[in-house]
């Protein structure tokens, strides 16, 4: 198994700007170490980790015993994490990374690629107009996919046999990439695991509301979008990331928050007091709304218009 870690597919990013092509490097790149994930808050949202310089990808290439692999199928993994957390190599458990591509590569005789993309405000903040168009994280993904298309033949891959796959926010990303006209000719197949582009949690219908909210937190003007965007772009990226604090995600509400959640999940549902039935009912309702119905609708639309 040949493993190439930390290959830059774009130049170091500028805050709230589109990704730019990497200028290249002199000599031979020593692709031996994973690079930092993109800047993001910790789970408790009290600190940040990662780096703005984060647009790197990793490649696993299975090799035969007697010959170098050629023309292998390629699978590009896009991680989930609510578009707020995550990284191309995943969490590190006792020096074993969650998204180690070796298992799939060796079992499936495919090349596996994982990538980083920007998250949170740095990846998706938008004013809904040209001042701050947003979706920088999706543009990062596209640049990585295009890089693979151009270069994977040099690693023994088939550039005409690329499959995107992802989970949760990564699944939504896969779905959106297949819908983008910029992806035409880049990929052959797509696998969305727990998410599609129509999921209600995946689309922000009022981006300006959140841009103004974050601008107020960091002291930027909100009277017009151009001034707001210019101010956000010169704001410390760590400050921007922490300004995206999600109320109620952590334990800050204390007992009141726990009691509120308990009251919702234990109230009468229909004509039964059976806890197991109520639990299944709530879960079924939520998963139907969050995943099942959007997925069925997306499949229908693909069938009608693809």
- Residue 303 pLDDT > 80, yes or no? yes
CB burial class (10 A; 0-12, 13-18, 19+) of residue 130?
exposed
Specify the pLDDT at position 248.
53
Q: Quick one: fold of 2-193?
A: Rossmann fold (3.40.50)
Q: Residue 111 pLDDT more than 70? A: yes
What residues pair up with 162 in beta bridges, in sequence order?
74
- Give the pLDDT of residue 258: 66
Picking from 110-119, 133-142, 230-239, 255-264, which range would have the lowest pLDDT averaged per residue?
A: 255-264
Rg (CA), the chain: 21
In this prediction, residues 259-278 reach a mean pLDDT of: 64
Contact 82, 173 (CB under 8 A): no
* Between residues 104 and 273, the one the model is more confident about: 104
Lowest mean pLDDT among 15-24, 35-44, 145-154: 35-44
299 C-beta neighbours (distance < 10 Å), count: 12
Q: Examine the pLDDT at 84 and tell me if it is beyond 80.
A: yes
Is residue 19 within 8 A of residue 136, CB to CB? The reply is yes
Residue 133: its pLDDT value, please? Answer: 96
User: Has this prediction a pTM greater than 0.75?
Assistant: yes
Contact of 122 with 39, CB cutoff 8 Å = yes
Q: Which of 43-52, 87-96, 212-221 has the lowest mean pLDDT?
A: 87-96
Residue 100 is encoded by which pair of tokens? 């180690």
Element holding 8 (H helix, E strand): strand 2-8
Cα–Cα distance, 77 to 98 (Å, whole number):
12
Write down the pLDDT at residue 293: 87
d(CA 76, CA 79): 10
Contact of 124 with 86, CB cutoff 8 Å: no
**Residue 75 parent element (H or E):** strand 72-78
Q: How many residues does the chain have?
A: 306
The string of pLDDT tens digits covering residues 277-292 is 666 677 777 788 888 8
Q: Is 75 left (phi over 0), alpha (psi -120 to 50) or beta?
A: beta
What span, in angstroms and rounded, lies between the C-alpha atoms of 264 and 266? 6
Task: Dump pLDDT digits (tens) for 131-174.
Answer: 999 999 999 999 999 999 999 999 999 999 999 999 999 999 99
Give residue-wise pLDDT tens across range 179-235.
999 999 999 999 999 999 999 999 999 999 999 999 999 999 999 999 999 999 999
| Mean of pLDDT over the chain | 89
CB 41 within 8 A of CB 122: no
Nearest to 78 by CA among 36, 32, 119: 119
Assign 48 a pLDDT band (cuts: 50, 70, 90): very high
Give 257 or 85, the one with higher predicted confidence. Answer: 85
Query: Please, which residues bridge with residue 111 across strands?
Result: 74
Tell me the C-alpha distance between 112 and 104, whole Å.
Answer: 7
Bridge partners of 112? 60, 75
Indicate the pLDDT class of residue 265, thresholds 50, 70 and 90.
Answer: low
Question: What pLDDT was estimated at residue 284?
Answer: 78
Task: State yes or no: pLDDT of 47 exceeds 60.
Answer: yes
Query: Where exactly does CATH 3.40.50.1820 map onto the chain?
Result: 2-193
**pLDDT given for residue 66 in this prediction:** 67
């Amino acid at each position: 198994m040949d493993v190439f870690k930390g290959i830059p597919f774009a130049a170091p990013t500028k805050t709230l700007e589109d990704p730019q092509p990497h200028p290249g490097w002199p000599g031979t790149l020593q692709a031996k170490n994973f690079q930092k994930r993109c800047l993001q808050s910790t789970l408790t949202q009290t600190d940040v980790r990662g780096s703005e310089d984060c647009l790197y990808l990793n490649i696993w290439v299975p090799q035969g015993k007697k010959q170098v692999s050629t023309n292998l199928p390629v699978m590009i993994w896009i991680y989930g994490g609510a578009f707020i957390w995550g990284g191309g190599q995943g969490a590190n458990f006792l020096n074993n990374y969650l998204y180690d591509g070796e298992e799939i590569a060796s079992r499936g005789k495919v090349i596996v690629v994982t990538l980083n993309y920007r998250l949170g405000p740095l990846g998706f903040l938008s004013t809904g107009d040209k001042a701050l168009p947003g979706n920088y994280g999706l543009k990062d993904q596209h640049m990585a996919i295009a890089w693979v298309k151009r270069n994977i033949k040099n690693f023994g891959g088939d550039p005409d046999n690329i499959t995107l796959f992802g989970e949760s926010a990564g699944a939504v990303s896969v779905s959106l990439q297949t819908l983008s006209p910029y992806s035409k000719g880049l990929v052959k197949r797509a696998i969305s695991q727990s998410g599609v582009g129509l999921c209600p949690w995946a689309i922000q219908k009022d981006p300006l509301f959140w841009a103004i909210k974050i601008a107020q937190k960091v002291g930027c003007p909100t009277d017009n979008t151009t001034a707001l965007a210019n101010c956000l772009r010169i704001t410390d990226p760590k400050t921007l990331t922490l300004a995206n604090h999600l109320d109620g995600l952590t334990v800050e509400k204390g007992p009141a928050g726990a009691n509120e959640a308990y009251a919702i999940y234990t109230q009468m549902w229909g004509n039964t007091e059976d806890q197991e039935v109520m639990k299944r009912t709530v879960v079924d309702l939520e998963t139907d709304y969050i995943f099942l119905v959007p997925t069925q609708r997306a499949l229908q639309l693909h069938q009608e218009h693809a």
